Structure 1
Amino acid sequence: MKTATATAAEADDILVDDLPAPRHSRRLAVVTETYPPEVNGVAMSMARVIDGLNRRNHDVQLIRPRQPSRLTPPSSGRPAVDEVLTKGLAVPLYPNLRMGVPSKRSLVKLWSLRRPDVVHIATEGPLGWSALQAAQHLALPVTSDYRTNFHAYGRHYRLGLLAKPIMGYLRKFHNRCDATMVPTEAMRVQLVERGFERLSVVGRGVDAQRFDPTRRSEAMRMAWGAGADDLVLGYVGRLAPEKNLGVVLAAFEAVKALQPRARLVFVGDGPMRAELAARAPDAVFAGQRSGDDLAAHYAGLDLFLFPSLTETFGNVTTEAMASGCAVVAFDSAAAGELIRSGVNGWLAGAGQEADFIAATRAAALDPSARRAVAEAARTTARRLDWSDITARFEAVLEGAIARAEPVIGLRGLQPVV
């Protein structure tokens, strides 16, 4: 070791190997009922955040339901985390998605043996509720995400009478947490009006290197039946009632009346696929895509149509923008937060279907405006860096840890019920 009086010349001889290894900053337990290779916004964004937390030298313990073996990728494709797999059940109508089962006793035992600094819960299902109970039993600080508008799905699945009880459960769940992260300021205001407390806005990032206009493939477009100058409209996401896909069909029909060679592409899968195929027999159904293949599908589109009104954010919006697609959407979620209508996309008032269709027609008829909007959308998306999002996420965790009271007494030894 060098002394405090070492000369500058002597200091040059100090080797990096003599310095202490970087320590892990925090021990984090992250609980989620969906994770890659499942394909949805929650799964993909949680994987990004966990990767970012790893890069910031945190120890991450990931608790999630065990997925079917046909979905499990090689371990080399995952972030280096300590995975704890629980029992899982298929989600109705979505057999490729899993939900956890009540696991409070197991989680209390797990966290008693290896106590985390904070527990973060990404989903509010049975596993998430068990994690909340276990964390509070052990007096651990808890943060959560509000990521899915379950209560808004009721009208699409004939569950209208359950909307209020579901909202009541969600409010109870999140208000028992030390902090809840929401993706947009508009969502924060909406939830405050509904009685939610301790909300922090933490947005979503996008991989602007993967989702890039240079991935456009004329060969792929030809396979869709589109020539170099033909307009291709598309949608990416679940093919499900809550996505409001009838508006996509109506907008496409309006465009096709003006441009008969226009093509429509659906990327994704879900319970509405057969119905959509019957209503739009000439549409291309590309199925579920991921990684660079998904990026190429985005880049092949000229107009991205996203009519959903049930999103908390909508990662597909930013992925389309990063891919150089001109986006038409309702003034809601990520689109409402990021798009200036006529500048880097087109917005219609929430639920104003006639305006959505009119915006789509206007975009279809003006190639120069479409190109300018697409370039501006790409510029906007490039500012949404995941490292910034991870830093905001980390700050909320640190705040919850700092506010937590010291654990005194034998609370952690109480019987598990």
Structure 2
Amino acid sequence: MRYAIVTETYPPEINGVALTVQGLELGLRARGHAVSVVRPRQDGESAAQPDTLLVRGAGLPRYPGLKFGLPASARLLRQWSQARPDAIYVATEGPLGWSALRVARKLGIPAATGFHTRFDQYMRDYGLPFLGNTALRWMRRFHNSAQATLVPTRELGEFLQSQRFTRVRRLARAVDTQQFHPGRRDSALRRQWGIEEGALAVVYLGRIAPEKNLELAVRAFRELQRLRADARFVWVGDGPARAQLAQENPDFIFCGLQRGAEVGRHFASADLFLFPSHSETFGNTTLEAMASGLAVVAFDYGAAREHVHHGVDGIAVGNDADFIAAATMLGSDDAARLAMGLRARKAMERLHPTQVAADFDALLAELASNPGPAGRPHAFTSAA
């Protein structure tokens, strides 16, 4: 089969959408399919890789280094008329994604979209709550123009269907249990952080930005620190909130962006993962931390709702007070935290990226063989 993937973010950009899209692409290639990728040209990029169409992009406000793709209808029409995909996957809702759906509809190519970002919630996090419903209507119009909208959890699928999103399908997520493994723990890295064995390294890994609810993580850590004077807070990632966070908390350790094996090494070298965000559609880092043998404290939705067994291999909470209480309890109880981390690792060993690739392949093949009209509602289903 010949598939096309359209995305406005792609590695070496570091975010959950970029890495998820690349994983789906590589999974399809490993299954023997021809895959082309359409994405914006990144800074300093002079030539495209084979099977990649680079289009014009513009900088994303307040997110240095990230871009959104500008409309590219004419180029896509030429490209797909000459080498017609059997189906396309549009991962992002920007101008490039909209133009891809229009061209696909014109050529009669079936399309699936991916729901990766709760822009309606981001409006609230950036001080614009009155735009939340507008964002939701905009996303609904985008996704309902495709033959399927892919979501990572049952919870999100049911929410979207309640908001009149049509043809919602669940495509489960998995984690690379070799990249993320307790065996990658590195005492030298801990010493570099200024943390000896026996002391407590709390880690946050992800975008350092307002929508991640980072103030709660800081409050939880400060409460924990009152019980564990040896606790240190390690931050892996970058973003628009980093400078102010570092200025207000000079004892925090900032490691910057990490890639590939280094991400697994940083996770495995910590002891407790705090994930305070409540605006994720999934939260890949939850699975990565669990696969690395870390106890996790997260809100009870997304990846935590789907994979954390509360009190067994992590703690999934419903409010800020419970988040702080869970962080202080696990941080001050070494035996409970270690046992929870071991169970988390074992739970992640059941997730297989190859199965996700097979499910994604089957879904696209189904669309290619039954390219019906978009927008007709049906019951929420799972691809896995």
Tell me the TM-score range normalised by the shorter chain: over 0.9
Q: Matches of residues 167-186 of structure 1 in structure 2 within 5 Å?
A: 167-186=136-155
SS of the aligned residue for 1:69 comes to coil
The TM-score with structure 1 as length reference comes to 0.87
For 2:348 and 2:18, locate their aligned partners in 1 and report how far apart those are by CA, in whole Å: 20
Aligned-residue offset at 1:157: 1.3
Aligned-residue offset at 1:68: 0.9
For 1:263 and 1:185, locate their aligned partners in 2 and report how far apart those are by CA, in whole Å: 36
1:302 aligns with 271
2:174 aligns with 205
Q: Which runs of no fewer than 5 residues in structure 2 stay unpaired? A: 374-384
Per-residue CA deviations over 1:230-256 (Å, capped at 9, x if unaligned) read 011110001100000011111111111
Aligned-residue offset at 1:110: 1.3
User: 2:48·2:54 contact (CA, 8 Å) conserved in 1?
Assistant: no
Per-residue CA deviations over 1:11-55 (Å, capped at 9, x if unaligned) read xxxxxxxxxxxxxxx111110011110000111111111111011
Aligned-residue offset at 1:105: 1.7
1:141 aligns with 110
* 1:84 is aligned to 2:53: yes
1:315 aligns with 284
1:411 aligns with none
* 1:367 is aligned to 2:334: yes
User: 1:327·1:345 contact (CA, 8 Å) conserved in 2?
Assistant: yes
For 1:185 and 1:280, locate their aligned partners in 2 and report how far apart those are by CA, in whole Å: 38
Letter in 2 for 1:277: A
User: 1:37·1:73 contact (CA, 8 Å) conserved in 2?
Assistant: no
For 2:96 and 2:69, locate their aligned partners in 1 and report how far apart those are by CA, in whole Å: 5
Aligned-residue offset at 1:159: 2.1
SS of the aligned residue for 1:94 comes to coil
For 1:405 and 1:287, locate their aligned partners in 2 and report how far apart those are by CA, in whole Å: 46
1:195 aligns with 164
For 2:137 and 2:97, locate their aligned partners in 1 and report how far apart those are by CA, in whole Å: 16
Letter in 1 for 2:325: A
Per-residue CA deviations over 1:85-136 (Å, capped at 9, x if unaligned) read 1011111111211110011122112111111111110111000000000000
2:382 aligns with none
Aligned-residue offset at 1:405: 5.2
SS of the aligned residue for 2:64 comes to strand
Which of 347, 355, 366 does residue 322 from structure 2 map onto?
Answer: 355
Q: How many residues align?
A: 373
For 2:196 and 2:220, locate their aligned partners in 1 and report how far apart those are by CA, in whole Å: 21
2:238 aligns with 269
For 2:81 and 2:333, locate their aligned partners in 1 and report how far apart those are by CA, in whole Å: 62
Which of 216, 219, 232 does residue 247 from structure 1 map onto?
Answer: 216
1:340 aligns with 309
For 2:47 and 2:309, locate their aligned partners in 1 and report how far apart those are by CA, in whole Å: 39
* 1:57 is aligned to 2:32: yes
User: 1:120·1:142 contact (CA, 8 Å) conserved in 2?
Assistant: yes
1:389 aligns with 356
2:381 aligns with none
Aligned-residue offset at 1:381: 1.4
User: 2:147·2:372 contact (CA, 8 Å) conserved in 1?
Assistant: no
1:108 aligns with 77
* 1:377 is aligned to 2:316: no
Letter in 2 for 1:63: V
For 2:177 and 2:100, locate their aligned partners in 1 and report how far apart those are by CA, in whole Å: 34
Aligned-residue offset at 1:402: 2.1
Letter in 2 for 1:298: F
Per-residue CA deviations over 1:256-284 (Å, capped at 9, x if unaligned) read 10111111001000111112112221010
User: 2:297·2:315 contact (CA, 8 Å) conserved in 1?
Assistant: yes
User: 1:216·1:299 contact (CA, 8 Å) conserved in 2?
Assistant: yes
Aligned-residue offset at 1:395: 1.7
Which of 250, 271, 284 does residue 253 from structure 2 map onto?
Answer: 284
Letter in 2 for 1:370: R
For 1:405 and 1:381, locate their aligned partners in 2 and report how far apart those are by CA, in whole Å: 37
Coordinate RMSD, CA, aligned:
1.5
For 1:308 and 1:95, locate their aligned partners in 2 and report how far apart those are by CA, in whole Å: 21
* 1:34 is aligned to 2:9: yes
For 1:41 and 1:73, locate their aligned partners in 2 and report how far apart those are by CA, in whole Å: 25
Flag the 1:300–1:115 CA change in 2: closer, same or farther, 3 A. same
For 1:73 and 1:253, locate their aligned partners in 2 and report how far apart those are by CA, in whole Å: 48
Per-residue CA deviations over 1:324-343 (Å, capped at 9, x if unaligned) read 11101110110111001110
Higher RCO (CA < 8 A, seq sep 6+): 2
* 1:293 is aligned to 2:268: no
Q: Which runs of no fewer than 5 residues in structure 1 stay unpaired? A: 1-25, 76-80, 407-417
For 2:36 and 2:263, locate their aligned partners in 1 and report how far apart those are by CA, in whole Å: 29
For 2:255 and 2:301, locate their aligned partners in 1 and report how far apart those are by CA, in whole Å: 26
For 1:74 and 1:373, locate their aligned partners in 2 and report how far apart those are by CA, in whole Å: 45
* 1:236 is aligned to 2:205: yes
Per-residue CA deviations over 1:50-83 (Å, capped at 9, x if unaligned) read 111011111101111011127x8996xxxxx510
For 2:150 and 2:56, locate their aligned partners in 1 and report how far apart those are by CA, in whole Å: 26
